[in-house]
Amino acid sequence: MSNRETLQAYEEHVEAYVAGTSAEVSGPPRQWMDRAVAGLAPSARILELGSAFGRDAAYLQGRGYQVECSDACAGFLALLRAKGFAARALNILTDTVGGPYDLILANAVLLHLSRAEFSQVLARLAAALAPGGRFAFSLKRGDGEGWSSHKLGAPRYFRYWQPEQLPPLLAVAGFSTWDLQGAALARTHADWLYGIAVR
């Protein structure tokens, strides 16, 4: 239920999300994405989850990579396709991920999943990676869970994480190594966790 309601909030407030989100990739998010693609060949298969309006995909394309965009919201898919991105509808809880991919990127996507959903999705994404493939993800750092209407004016579910909670879940999902780094972003007034896990 929480995921469906969160997706509905995005669907009904696409313009508000775009207006309230930075159009540029900079600071810790940029450093994290640079680490995620470090050493990857230009021919690497990259899937982005929750591409929204294509900001992160455009950054990676600017670095010479082709990105397969995806989103669960029709409004964002329309935006992506209007900008020329190849984009498909993908709900990470219910749809087939495909693959194998060399990198799957999920920036501020899995933070909308409950702990049980998060564990389920981790396993599905690990299975969609090629051996040695990478999963790059960002989460909000904190404790517990809750609903917030900040930014969109409509309720979205958030699950908060501490870095020590993640390694056991990553290991069970099938990842062999991982790197987790924290960062405080003044623009979002939040503490974030940036992870890169390797199958």
CB burial readout 86-96, b (16+ within 10 A) else e: ebeebebeeee
Residue 130 near residue 102, CB atoms below 8 Å: yes
- Nearest-angstrom CA–CA distance, 179 and 164: 12
Three-state DSSP class for residue 69: strand
- Model confidence at 10, pLDDT cuts 50, 70, 90, reads confident
Q: Which of 17-26, 52-61, 96-105 has the lowest mean pLDDT?
A: 17-26
More confident residue, 17 or 115: 115
Considering only the top CATH level, what class is 2-198? alpha beta
pLDDT at 3: 83
- Nearest-angstrom CA–CA distance, 151 and 189: 12
Query: What are the pLDDT digits (tens) for 73-123?
Result: 999 999 999 999 999 999 999 999 999 999 999 999 999 999 999 999 999
198 bridge partner residues: 134, 177
Q: Is the pLDDT score of 51 beyond 70?
A: yes
Residue 75 to residues 7, 70, 86, 160: CA-CA distances in angstroms? 11, 12, 15, 26
- Nearest-angstrom CA–CA distance, 191 and 97: 29
Query: What are the pLDDT digits (tens) for 145-193?
Result: 999 888 888 889 999 999 999 999 999 999 999 999 988 765 555 799 9
pLDDT at 122: 98
Q: Is the pLDDT score of 1 beyond 70?
A: no
For residues 22-46, give the mean pLDDT: 94
pTM: 0.93
- Segment holding 36, helix H or strand E: helix 27-37
Listed residue (141, 73, 84) closest to 111, CA to CA: 141
